[in-house]
């Protein structure tokens, strides 16, 4: 008894001396991602990226006295559920920052709530150039826009294929697929490439034969497609079934390995601009790949961008001297510059969009391979 008491006193004294008796500050991050609905293929891998990054940051000791905690909720790929999840994060969980939502379409509806409540948001997969970060000064993004990826990719694609004409096919019921189409159209026109035909579809569509047949008859040198992964797989499979062997170049929706799986052999040769050079020999990227392998995760671009979203929040907290409040994180974001990440050196631009080098990849042997 006496011994136990004196041990207790000793322990208390030791804790007081080292300061470890003080509770760790837990910084909650709300993660609104699509675990169901048409964007679920992206959400599953985003979740793996967030969880890995939270572990990475917490184990690294880079945020002394601060522990990150992810609160993950399904935005169901819809505006309505995105809004409901944001409301919960803002008012009930009282998170310090929000990552997500998965789709630009959802972000256009949910982000204004965070802006009004002054809760910083980091988009990790929204690529519509307009209507995201311009919502306001609390909205930031890690994901490169379609403009940032497609414009440099177009130069490389043209150098490779030397095409002079193009046909366009896009989803007309989604903020991202519409924005991707607008970027494709503008950059083709700017480069002097003739757009010989344009067709549309909607998310619930599964039969694209009429659109493909119409475009095929125009004999374009290339087909550019702005679609989410599920539609993308159907479009590519049906184009090849119709015997159309035109080079196909997809927008960001194609970046999910699920696209390759669902399209099968028809996916071979398809080009996609990407934000992540997965074969980059850079040490940060190689360490990340090893870390993910140890977790049993085969990361894709979306996983990596979600991981970097957490790194950006952690860096913002560090830059604000370990403060994990909403205001501190927002202020810290403005100082994030040349942060070493698996995406390369990452900075936020003055308009709160992200900046780092983009890449181009092609499906070869059933996998995305970086075009060197
Ligand atoms: C967006 C996208 C999707 C294709 C991926 C989540 O880029 O909605 O902006």
Of all protein residues, the one whose alpha carbon is nearest to atom 9 of ligand 1 is 126
Kindly state if the Cβ of 341 falls inside 6 Å of ligand 1: no
267-284 pLDDT per residue, tens: 999 999 999 999 999 999
Determine the straight-line distance between the first and last CA of the chain, rounded to whole angstroms: 71
State pTM to two decimals: 0.94
Q: Distance from the CA of 104 to the center of ligand 1, in angstroms? A: 6
65-90 pLDDT per residue, tens: 999 999 999 999 999 999 999 999 99
CB count, 10 Å around CB of 167? Answer: 24
**The CATH classification of domain 147-274, taken from the options 1.50.40.10, 3.30.300.30, 3.40.50.2300, 3.40.50.720:** 3.40.50.2300
| DSSP for 18-40, written as a single string | HTTTSPPEEEEEEEEE-SSSTTH
Q: Distance from the CA of 142 to the center of ligand 1, in angstroms? A: 12
Q: CB neighbours of 309 closer than 8 A, spacing ≥ 6?
A: 49, 50, 53, 99, 122, 123, 124, 142
Kindly state if the Cβ of 255 falls inside 6 Å of ligand 1: no
Kindly state if the Cβ of 140 falls inside 6 Å of ligand 1: no
Q: Are 277 and 304 within 8 A, CB to CB? A: no
Please return the burial class of 316, using the count of CB atoms within 10 Å of its CB with bins 0-12, 13-18 and 19+: buried
- The answer on pLDDT for 12 being more than 60 is no
Kindly state if the Cβ of 274 falls inside 6 Å of ligand 1: no
CATH fold for domain 23-144+280-357: Rossmann fold (3.40.50)
Angle 184-82-181 (CA atoms, 0-180°, nearest 5)?
10
182-230 pLDDT per residue, tens: 999 999 999 999 999 999 999 999 999 999 999 999 999 999 999 999 9
Q: Distance from the CA of 268 to the center of ligand 1, in angstroms? A: 22
Question: 23-144+280-357 and 147-274 share one CATH topology?
Answer: yes
Domain regions of the chain by residue span: 23-144+280-357, 147-274
């Amino acid at each position: 008894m006496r011994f136990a008491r004196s041990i207790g006193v000793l322990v208390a004294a030791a804790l007081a001396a080292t300061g470890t008796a003080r509770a760790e500050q837990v910084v909650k991050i709300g993660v609104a991602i699509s675990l169901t609905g048409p964007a679920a293929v992206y959400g599953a891998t985003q979740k793996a990226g967030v969880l890995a990054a939270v572990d990475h940051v917490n184990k690294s000791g880079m945020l002394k006295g601060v522990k990150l905690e992810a609160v993950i909720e399904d935005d169901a790929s819809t505006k309505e559920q995105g809004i409901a999840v944001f409301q919960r994060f803002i008012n009930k969980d009282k998170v310090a920052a929000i990552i997500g939502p998965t789709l630009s379409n959802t972000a256009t509806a949910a982000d204004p709530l965070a802006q009004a409540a002054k809760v910083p948001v980091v988009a990790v997969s929204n690529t519509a150039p307009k209507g995201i970060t311009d919502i306001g000064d609390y909205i930031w993004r890690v994901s490169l826009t379609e403009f940032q990826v497609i414009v440099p990719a177009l130069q490389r694609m043209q150098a490779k294929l030397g095409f002079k004409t193009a046909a366009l096919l896009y989803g007309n019921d989604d903020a991202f697929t519409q924005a991707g189409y607008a970027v494709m159209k503008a950059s083709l026109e700017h480069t002097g490439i003739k757009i010989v035909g344009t067709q549309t579809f909607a998310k619930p569509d599964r039969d694209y034969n009429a659109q493909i047949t119409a475009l095929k008859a125009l004999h374009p040198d290339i087909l550019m497609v702005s679609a989410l992964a599920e539609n993308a797989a159907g479009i590519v499979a049906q184009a090849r079934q119709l015997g159309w062997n035109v080079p196909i170049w997809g927008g960001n929706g194609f970046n999910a390995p699920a696209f390759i799986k669902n399209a099968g052999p028809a996916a071979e040769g398809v080009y996609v601009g990407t934000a992540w050079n997965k074969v980059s020999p850079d040490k940060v990227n190689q360490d990340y790949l090893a870390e993910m392998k140890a977790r049993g995760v085969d990361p894709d671009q979306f996983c990596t961008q979600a991981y970097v979203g957490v790194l950006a929040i952690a860096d913002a907290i560090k830059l604000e001297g370990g403060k994990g409040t909403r205001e501190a994180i927002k202020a810290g974001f403005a100082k994030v510059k040349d942060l070493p990440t698996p995406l390369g050196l990452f900075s936020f631009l003055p308009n709160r969009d992200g900046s780092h080098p983009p890449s181009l990849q092609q499906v070869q042997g059933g996998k995305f391979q970086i075009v060197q």
